[in-house]
Structure 1
């Protein structure tokens, strides 16, 4: 792994908006809260000659032109082949991403789950005519028409990359190898002050995933749809965990160092954190526990009022092409969406490490989604706790 996932605040800062519209979990089609429909916006009918440029909002590491590393450049060839000059703007949070897209100055965005849904229902992005994106055909089906990138079977973007929040552990300190999140929750005292967790209110969903499996009587069906009783149970679990936390992390470099030094022996991590620790010969491994996990999935979307629709579609097809998708995935540290990308990675074991084409693995992930008062699990007569309540609860958990 040549580079770690750059966006250390993807969930912590990117989920600050409190009014996102979304539905369901990691499976099924999005129908919107209480039957709400997105504004009617027509998708592009044909792709013609490029307009000369395309303006892109993206996470750092998604639009590389060689300026950060001369060997990492998938923009220049796109510009040469299409005549579309790429102007890119890095967004540090999902809130910033939404604000920039609302300005009308940008054509394309690489949105995470909460941002994508806000923009769909806000009329900021248009449906995508996937017939005009030939490489879409090779995107893994388990990423298509999901709750964060479609509504009522209509695609609003092209899946790009994804990953799970895994359970990392020191093989020399944690024996036997863990297979359950219990090692950081109910059994955390065995590694007191050496447990780590992601520093964000969205981490409450990790506790909810655990409770779904171990306390079914709570009735949790979606870890982002928690009523008063369910949220309290998750908060109580996390308060108990807090006594055993050595440190919460949001900076991946600190997470790597903590694992290497032994200050952390077990806890939540990204696969790239594990890779970097292993590259430095640290006795570290990771597992997707039996209960499943939370995770992320990003989608390329087109502005509803794009001034450069032809170049925008050309970019969508380019960035999800097997060769380029492979480059981005390796540079960024995630699984590529295009199933054929695995034939083009420089590290031939990369896709196995990231479970890139493993539908069964992907089905165990609950992708980050902003909690809303309208329960995302379909309950109609119950009010769920929104992200503001989660934020307040997180402050209480950490003390």
Structure 2
């Protein structure tokens, strides 16, 4: 495999304004979106001999990062499709790169998928041509971030929740609610951390759903102007107590270990990596639930190697391969079968297959003008609105 150099990034942050959004009518999703895509193929042909993949760091590994971490070599040997991979650091960056038409496959989080579909950059996927699709958890299939108007636009990969982590020695009593980083944030002023992204507005919305029901929020990614304003007010109040907004998880790990941070948003993998000799921490799913991610492997509507692209989607969904990939990244795999190949305790730690746990996670989605909660009497705010709001929050 040849890896195309890119600017280093180990985050899922969305940071920065999205000029591209002004060119796209995301409200088309759910009506005529996807019409400009290639449509689902009915039959596969001969593999083209190469495939170009755009993905998060750690999703396409060939042993060059770690000799023990390699699921690309077996794919190349079995299919004859030589892999060229480029990693990206933000969903915005991925969207702009995907539009170039240089990539056959894109690994996209839910804050990117609808943009891909609305822009006609994603091809409809015929899941019947992907044998390993059948074994994937049903609760990850046919969801609003990977399926539009009954058309499937990708294959679910791993998933995880954005958790609340706290230093057990500095934060007492042990928190059970996001109240610890909102109303109670002043108790730890300067030592609170939050995820650095406009999509973090949804975390505030999750909290408001539970604590200000009069706002009528039913989906944290579907906010009208009044609801968005309430979330912005909550985050502006939090801003005074935030010591650092994070996007690079290695930096927030270090911040907890040095004591510069004692409470805030985290991923399970960060909690796992923290040296217990440096900091005693716990990571929990709060009572209100949480936001999270379930990434989707998508095929470009401009794919030059669609047959190899389909082969990759099936390979990365193979239980043994999916176990390798999701364990390396630090997330739950997409099937029970994959858990049979994962290291002992991995699936338990990440709650793989626990549908009740997954029901508490609001997986990342793209805010669009057409309300995702089904309302038709108002216009909802879109991602461009959220981007402007985030800049206002951070000041």
TM-score, scaled to structure 1: 0.90
Deviation at 1:21, TM superposition (A): 6.4
**Equivalent pair of 1:218/1:230 in contact (CA under 8 Å):** yes
In structure 2, the residue matched to 1:7 is: 10
- Asked whether 1:243 is paired with 2:223, we answer no
In structure 1, the residue matched to 2:356 is: 360
* Residues in 1 aligned to 2:21 and 2:370: alpha-carbon distance in whole angstroms: 12
Deviation at 1:17, TM superposition (A): 4.8
Deviation at 1:213, TM superposition (A): 0.5
Unaligned ranges ≥5, structure 1: 1-5, 24-30
Deviation at 1:288, TM superposition (A): 0.6
In structure 2, the residue matched to 1:226 is: 223
In structure 1, the residue matched to 2:5 is: none
Which residue, out of 198, 203, 207, partners 1:201? 198
* Residues in 2 aligned to 1:45 and 1:183: alpha-carbon distance in whole angstroms: 52
- Worse-superposed segment, 327-336 or 139-148: 327-336
* Residues in 2 aligned to 1:147 and 1:21: alpha-carbon distance in whole angstroms: 17
Deviation at 1:74, TM superposition (A): 0.9
Deviation at 1:371, TM superposition (A): 2.2
Deviation at 1:280, TM superposition (A): 5.5
Q: 1:105 to 1:215 in 2, by over 3 A?
A: same
Deviation at 1:178, TM superposition (A): 1.4
In structure 1, the residue matched to 2:325 is: 328
Which 4+ runs in 1 deviate beyond 4 A? 13-17, 19-23, 278-281
**Equivalent pair of 1:22/1:148 in contact (CA under 8 Å):** no
- Asked whether 1:392 is paired with 2:382, we answer no
Q: 1:387 to 1:123 in 2, by over 3 A?
A: closer
Deviation at 1:133, TM superposition (A): 0.8
In structure 2, the residue matched to 1:59 is: 56
Q: 1:46 to 1:274 in 2, by over 3 A?
A: same
In structure 1, the residue matched to 2:6 is: none
Deviation at 1:14, TM superposition (A): 9.6
The 5 Å alignment of 1:256-335 reads 256-278=253-275, 282-335=279-332
* Residues in 2 aligned to 1:326 and 1:10: alpha-carbon distance in whole angstroms: 24
The 5 Å alignment of 1:75-224 reads 75-224=72-221
Which residue, out of 330, 340, 343, partners 1:343? 340
Q: 1:180 to 1:15 in 2, by over 3 A?
A: farther
Equivalent residue of 2:294, what SS? Answer: strand
Q: CA RMSD, aligned part only? A: 2.3
**Equivalent pair of 1:165/1:294 in contact (CA under 8 Å):** yes
Which residue, out of 363, 368, 375, partners 1:372? 368
Cα displacement string for residues 273-306 of structure 1 (whole angstroms, at most 9, x for unaligned residues): 1111156563111111111111111111112232
**Equivalent pair of 1:11/1:368 in contact (CA under 8 Å):** no
Equivalenced residue count is: 386
Q: 1:59 to 1:343 in 2, by over 3 A?
A: same
* Residues in 2 aligned to 1:176 and 1:220: alpha-carbon distance in whole angstroms: 29
* Residues in 2 aligned to 1:65 and 1:191: alpha-carbon distance in whole angstroms: 43
- Asked whether 1:36 is paired with 2:32, we answer yes
Deviation at 1:232, TM superposition (A): 1.8
Equivalent residue of 1:336, what SS? Answer: coil
Q: 1:17 to 1:360 in 2, by over 3 A?
A: farther
* Residues in 1 aligned to 2:133 and 2:231: alpha-carbon distance in whole angstroms: 38
* Residues in 2 aligned to 1:83 and 1:343: alpha-carbon distance in whole angstroms: 27
* Residues in 1 aligned to 2:236 and 2:258: alpha-carbon distance in whole angstroms: 26
- Worse-superposed segment, 259-268 or 239-248: 239-248
**Equivalent pair of 1:22/1:376 in contact (CA under 8 Å):** no
Cα displacement string for residues 69-125 of structure 1 (whole angstroms, at most 9, x for unaligned residues): 222111111111111111112223223323333333321111111322122222222
Deviation at 1:182, TM superposition (A): 0.8
Cα displacement string for residues 16-38 of structure 1 (whole angstroms, at most 9, x for unaligned residues): 75356668xxxxxxx934x3342
Unaligned ranges ≥5, structure 2: 1-8
